[in-house]
Amino acid sequence: MRVLHVYKTSFPLTKGGVEQFFAHLTLSSDPKRVEHTILAMHAGPERQDFCEGQVRIVAIPFSFQLLSTPFSWRYIQTYQRLTKQHDVIHYHYPFPFADLLHVALKPGKPSLVTYHSDIVKQKLAKYLYGPIGRRFLSSVNRIIVSSENYRKSSEDLRPFKTKVRAIPFGLNSELLPNPDSQLIAKWKEKLGSDYFLFVGAHRYYKGLEYLLNAAEITGLPLVIAGKGEHTAQLKSDYRHLKNVNWVGLVDEESKQALLTLAKAFVLPSHLRAEAFGICLLESLQAGKPLICCDLNTGTTLINQHRETGLVVPPANSEALARAMKTLAANDDLCSQYGAAAKQRYVQNFQAKQMVDAYLEEYDQLISGQ
């Protein structure tokens, strides 16, 4: 079967949770059963058409952006051509431009959408886009969310509950790099070990200010990797903290090395825009204890309170500090949570489980079920 993914970006052009989901879903699929094509946009001047493994990626230059959404006339033409060549159209929400194309052009192919997140921050965008978004969601054949928590708690999905199914994301450990001893030693010399680790984009919903406040309360070592629109302000506001190391963007191998040396991984996200947390899943796979906030999303599907780590209320620096102190003071508890984390990954979050579930959805759509 031929599946066309429609989104605004893709691996390896950019990094992020959706891009990682693309990689682990498409690269873990049996190419004898399914051919994946990803239609995306990028900031360069020329169209890029290339293969990453067995996955074809078509990246169209965008013409302009409005409310963080890229638009492109050439994308419309490519979308029309590619939809005719594929058996299933797999959308990824939110991406208002693609939703508009689906509603306006009616490609007439079986369709499903992976619903990555509600629109949380951009109230104006949600107001303007709401009618199109609702029409789009009503017109696709199936809506997939990453957790039952999100399915049950999303007000935006309530009108479509009869066609919503939860398929948790999964990771293919063979696609994750294995850092060599020299790289681990390099990071250990720079940072030490047994620190608390955050890796991710520095966005409004990540709650980094609450984590930094917790680091100030506890004095415990914290390593922050990644960057984003809030990095400069955060580094300025917390420049007095000597127990915080900012390491910037790191490649995948260095990320695994940082996880190897860490005592625990902390995801302080405090808003529902954190619908799942691929970084939590990577830490689960690495056998690390987790700390996250209860958002009624996928974060607490991954991290089970007092089993794989600790779950605290959102936007609460004191609670984060208590959780960090608890793990810092108890190596045996960290080992217990870490072992349970690895086991939970093996049982629930391997890529094969995710791929098989999506292939079943594709098969049902093609057969008209």
CATH topology agreement for domains 2-172+350-366 and 173-348: yes
pLDDT band at 124 (very low <50, low <70, confident <90, very high): low
Per-domain residue ranges for the chain?
Answer: 2-172+350-366, 173-348
Query: Tell me, what's the pLDDT at 70?
Result: 85
pLDDT band at 227 (very low <50, low <70, confident <90, very high): very high
pLDDT band at 125 (very low <50, low <70, confident <90, very high): low
DSSP string, 164-223: EEE----B-GGGS----HHHHHHHHHHH-SS-EEEES---GGG-HHHHHHHHHHH---EE
Query: Tell me, what's the pLDDT at 368?
Result: 85
CATH code of the region 173-348: 3.40.50.2000
Average pLDDT over residues 69-86: 94
Number of H helices, E strands in the chain: 14, 16
The answer to whether the CB of 199 falls within 8 A of the CB of 211 is no
CA distances from 257 to 173, 181, 189, 278, 280 (A): 15, 9, 12, 17, 15
Indicate whether 225 pLDDT > 60: yes
Angle among Cα 276, 282, 283 to the nearest 5 degrees reads: 100
Query: Tell me, what's the pLDDT at 2?
Result: 98
CA distances from 141 to 40, 107, 224, 351 (A): 22, 13, 41, 24
Indicate whether 126 pLDDT > 80: no
Query: Tell me, what's the pLDDT at 133?
Result: 86
Token pair of 12, please? 């390896």
pLDDT band at 65 (very low <50, low <70, confident <90, very high): confident
Query: Bigger pLDDT: 124 or 233?
Result: 233
Chain centre distance of CA 193:
26
Q: Exposed, middle or buried, 303 (CB in 10 Å: 0-12/13-18/19+)?
A: buried
Answer CATH for 2-172+350-366 from 3.20.20.80, 3.60.110.10, 3.40.50.720, 3.40.50.2000? 3.40.50.2000
- Coil, helix or strand for 265? strand
Query: Tell me, what's the pLDDT at 131?
Result: 83
Nearest alpha carbon to residue 175 among 253, 87, 90, 279:
253
Average pLDDT over residues 189-218: 97
pLDDT band at 119 (very low <50, low <70, confident <90, very high): confident
The answer to whether the CB of 63 falls within 8 A of the CB of 41 is no
- Coil, helix or strand for 225? strand
- Coil, helix or strand for 305? strand
